[in-house]
Amino acid sequence: MPATMIEQRYQEAVQACARCRQSCETCHYNCCLPNGSTACGRLCVDCAEICRLCETLMARGSQWAPQVAALCAQVCAACAEQCERSDSEYCRACAQACRECARQCRAVAAG
């Protein structure tokens, strides 16, 4: 999606959501599934999906973006907490991306 289509105020949050989504998907397929961690796996998938939705709504300037961003921040924070319990490189990277995404989404939600 061209950067010109994304409202300037959402630019950093859209990028954070994209990084978080990718990191959650990577963690899910390379750590959670092979290790049989269903709690982490489900949370990573949920987080990736809410990030995808939030990214899409912010990118097109939807009126619902701030409300979805608030929920996205909650899911990202929960995913970060879950992934921080692991020593896996994938989980650590996921937790870091989730923390940044939660921070950016809270800023969007606050207006």
CB 109 within 8 A of CB 70: yes
**Of the listed ranges 13-22, 45-54, 83-92, the one predicted with least confidence:** 83-92
Q: What is the mean pLDDT of residues 42-60?
A: 96
CB 53 within 8 A of CB 68: yes
- 94, 88, 93, 97: which is closest to 34 by C-alpha? 88
Q: What is the mean pLDDT of residues 83-91?
A: 92
- 84, 107, 106: which is closest to 96 by C-alpha? 84
Q: What is the mean pLDDT of residues 29-41?
A: 84
Position 79 scores a pLDDT of: 97
Q: Is the pLDDT of residue 3 over 70?
A: no
How would you label 11-23 residue by residue, b for 16+ Cβ within 10 Å and e otherwise? eebbbbbbbbbeb
